Amino acid sequence: MIKKLAISIASFLIAAHFGYSQTSPFSYTSPEEYTLKGVTVSGIRFIDPNVIVSMSGLYIGDKISVPSETITGAINKLWDQGLFSDIKITATKIEGDDIYLDIFLQELPRISGIDFIGIRKSEEKDLVDLIKLRIGGQATENILDNSKRLIKNHYRSKAYLNANIDIHQQHDTLMANGVRLIFNIDKGPKVRISDITFEGNDNIIDRKLRRAMKNTKRRDLNFFKASKFVENDFEEDKRSLIAYYNQHGYRDAKVLGDSVFVTEENRIGLIIKVEEGPKYHYRDINWVGNSKLPDEILDDILGIRKGDVYDKTLLEERLFIDDNSITTTYMDDGHLFFSIEPVEIRVANDSIDLEMRIYEGKQATVNNVIVKGNTKTHENVIRRELFTKPGDLFSKTGITRSVRELATMGHFDPEKLDVTPLPNMADGTVDLVYTVEEKANDQLEVSGGWGNKMFVGTIGIRFSNFSIGRLFEKQAWRPVPSGDSQTLSLRAQTNGSFYKAFSLTFVEPWLGGRKPTNFTLSLYHTINNLPGTYIYQVSDQRMKVTGGAIGIGTRLKWPDDWFQFYNELSIQSYDLNKWDYFMISTGKSNNFSYKAALTRNSIDQLIYPRRGSNFNLTLQLTPPYSIITGKDFSNVTDLQEKYKWIEYHKWTGKAQWFHNLVDNLVLYTGAQFGYLGYYNKDIGYSPFEGFDLGGDGMSGYNLYGRETIGLRGYENSSLSPRVNGVVNANVYTKYTVELRYPITLQPQAAIYLLTFLEAGNAWYEFRSINPFNVHRSAGVGARVFLPMIGMLGIDWGYGFDKIPHNPDKHRGQFHFTIGQNF
């Protein structure tokens, strides 16, 4: 209406001008033709006049009639831009058959500022980013309407269904033609769902259908369950309902409609009307076009038999998605161009006949393997981790495994890893482009931790992408030689006078560069002193431990190439003086041992695993000195002689599983055990190498004399039995269940929350073990991974079971470490 009125006024002005400025009166019925000789633009400040003339469609030299549709059309075109509040076209001069026109424009006001009323300051930035209004931009009607719509939808997505947004324009005297936009927002209360009911569901009850809706829930006794009504989530859940019906054989199920009604203030009810249709079963499944694999093998892979309930989701998983699906089976044999189409050739009564139409295509060979995005890690280091090589047949599983290996290297952002196949059907080849994004994973640690009733400071540096081969290249020191995926770690810990520890570790993951054979070298030295009579006085009670280890591990090909076998030789020297924490308190002992570890690790990444498993079985043993020498130790009472060379065999095992439940919600389950045995009953258990159960698993310093096992909800060491006043656990079991959800998985900081259940116990000897006699706990926690520090965590756990020898060491316990990055 406003636009039409303005055009009428403009036409009147033109008519009036021509009617009184010419010698002959102006007539609507007898328009006169002129040649347009000039067009000027007035009234604007910010827009190029040439652009205005171009938008109007008026061109110098054109023949125009006055008045005519040409003038009206020019006004329409300018109005359609939505930039002006007033438009006038007048004739400034007429010379015979020549005419000069002026276009007068009043620009819409420009935005000088934005204010929000009715919301918190923390919400303003989100809205500014959402509406994307530019200071200096015009406050057009479309822009304001769009801003109002975006804000309203934003709050509706948060269950504020009755949000009201008013926009006021306040004249700004500091800016010519400027206005401040004031958004007055009344969110109103959140609208909750009081009930969800269904109509037309004769075969599946309401409770099961409500469970199929993952995001839209009604309010019930579970106060932790969201009951907000979010329209987008509701639409998605209606699709989930159909998928649920399809999984149970109801192929024709439909959502006929839904209605929302108010039950009370800020409460609504939902009614969903469905049509279930008949329940279908599979009858005959025939294969067409397959020459590579016979029908019998395809039937086995599909795993669907005659008479099974029709399940569309399961069918698609077995055909396309699963790791052992039919598509994957063909693609692992090079058939990149493979396709399969399930066609329902007959639907009769409650049965469906399927025809699987297969196009196998020719096998594709990998031509080029291209690596992009690596700025620090050498390309040969990346390529050696890939399971797809030039000349190999295309393999979908090989690509998946390659991405997993790149993720577990720790040098790249696992969320940004990508593989792009570039097929060439003409010659039956495919190029594979692996795209990586480097992330910082060297760690400078300056931290403190509380353990064993003392504060321990740590300073250390860990280079995770070190290159020892470039030590003598001057240009490589930026700040250290890097790019070969080697690890060099230097660490020192102390609490002042009473405890000092120094360690060095070097790891080469590909010894020789040809095979995945890792080499490990470690050295360490620890000094422990007890305080004397006065503060900071050091007594003569001490323990010194000096040791080192060298190990070699390799990837196996059997039973599969997820397995690794690791061998290690280590030696430790214990120098004790009045140290009453072991069975031997004074003297020197030596520990020379061999360790063999068989592992199978298929987790998809290091920081936040979503799927896969990790199994580890380790045997560590010393030579049976007493058996070799044949010496009788039944009457030996000198502990120095008895434990000069320690002998034992130590068995440990660990199993971990990761399951991606939905989105990034991950279920982690784990179990582990340990057993320290002896060769000679006259010598008995070793005074070292036992287990210490309870607490956070991080004592604040390294004991070296025993293995620390955490069990949250109980104080450190509290679950280990005491024998003659000494902590001495030679057997333990532990079970863990965690539910994890990430807050952010960005490379600069990965954060996730968790809730856990744990149980475990420790015993002095094997015959006392009872895997069901455990101490239970539950709690919550958080983990933060910072590239320069590593993983930091805090947990609160509650121990449910009293400890007979430590009655006050359970109940609520915090477990945490604190670090600072410089």
Identify the structural domains of the chain with CATH numbers, from first to last.
2-107 (3.10.20.310), 110-186 (3.10.20.310), 192-275 (3.10.20.310), 281-359 (3.10.20.310), 365-435 (3.10.20.310), 443-820 (2.40.160.50)
d(CA 565, CA 571): 20
Residue 326 pLDDT class (50, 70, 90 cuts): very high
- The answer to whether 715 and 775 have CB atoms below 8 angstroms apart is no
Q: What is the pLDDT of residue 453?
A: 55
Q: What is the pLDDT of residue 90?
A: 83
675, pLDDT greater than 70: yes
Tens of pLDDT along 771-790?
A: 889 999 999 999 998 876 67
22, pLDDT greater than 60: no
d(CA 99, CA 712): 91
799, pLDDT greater than 60: yes
pLDDT more than 70, % of the chain: 91
d(CA 692, CA 704): 11
11, pLDDT greater than 50: no
Give CA separation, 719 vs 513, 693, 731, 804, 807, in Å: 45, 5, 12, 9, 11
Token duo for residue 255: 């959502």
Pick from 78-82, 602-606, 765-769: least confident = 78-82
Residue 203 pLDDT class (50, 70, 90 cuts): very high
755, pLDDT greater than 70: yes
Residue 701 pLDDT class (50, 70, 90 cuts): very low
Neighbours of 753 (CB within 10 A): 13
Of the two residues 803 and 173, the one the predictor is more confident about is: 803
296, pLDDT greater than 90: yes
Q: What is the pLDDT of residue 393?
A: 96
Q: What is the pLDDT of residue 447?
A: 60
**Exposed, middle or buried: residue 732 (CB in 10 Å: 0-12, 13-18, 19+)?**
buried
Which range of 61-65, 551-555, 572-576 scores highest in mean pLDDT? It is: 551-555
141, pLDDT greater than 70: yes
Query: What number is the average pLDDT over the span 463-477?
Result: 91
110, pLDDT greater than 90: no
d(CA 634, CA 680): 10
- By DSSP bridging, strand 339-348 and strand 281-288 are unpaired
Q: What is the pLDDT of residue 704?
A: 56
Tens of pLDDT along 251-276?
A: 999 999 999 888 888 888 899 999 99
Q: CA torsion angle for 625, 628, 632, 634 (degrees, to 10)?
A: 40
d(CA 298, CA 282): 16
Pick from 91-105, 404-418, 689-703: least confident = 689-703
Per DSSP, the chain holds a count of helices (H) and strands (E) of 14, 37
Instruction: Return the SS3 of 551.
Output: strand
Residue 156 pLDDT class (50, 70, 90 cuts): confident
373, pLDDT greater than 90: yes
Token duo for residue 45: 């400040």
Q: What is the pLDDT of residue 702?
A: 46
Mean pLDDT of the chain: 86
Pick from 91-95, 240-244, 305-309, 611-615: least confident = 91-95
Nearest 5°: CA angle at 470, between 466 and 473? 135
Pick from 60-69, 224-233, 265-274, 533-542: least confident = 533-542
Q: What is the pLDDT of residue 310?
A: 94
Q: What is the pLDDT of residue 17?
A: 43
Residue 29 pLDDT class (50, 70, 90 cuts): low
Give the residue among 270, 232, 238, 271 at the shortest CA–CA distance from 253: 238
Q: What is the pLDDT of residue 330?
A: 96
Hey, what amino acid is at 669?
A: T
579, pLDDT greater than 90: no
Pick from 79-88, 408-417, 476-485, 719-728: least confident = 79-88
Q: What is the pLDDT of residue 6?
A: 46
Of the two residues 553 and 176, the one the predictor is more confident about is: 553
Tens of pLDDT along 433-452?
A: 999 999 888 877 666 555 55
Query: What number is the average pLDDT over the span 102-106?
Result: 83
Q: What is the pLDDT of residue 541?
A: 84
d(CA 340, CA 331): 12
Give CA separation, 16 vs 25, 67, 88, in Å: 10, 11, 13
Residue carrying the six token digits 């856990």: 756
426, pLDDT greater than 80: yes
> At 573, which helix (H) or strand (E)?
strand 563-577
Tens of pLDDT along 490-544?
A: 988 887 777 888 999 999 999 988 889 999 999 999 988 877 655 556 678 888 9
d(CA 650, CA 569): 14
481, pLDDT greater than 60: yes
Q: What is the pLDDT of residue 442?
A: 82
Residue 706 pLDDT class (50, 70, 90 cuts): confident
Residue 784's contacts (CB-CB under 8 Å, 6 or more residues apart) are 749, 750, 751, 791, 792, 793
Pick from 385-389, 519-523, 587-591: least confident = 587-591
Q: What is the pLDDT of residue 225?
A: 53
Token duo for residue 504: 């060095």
d(CA 371, CA 331): 22
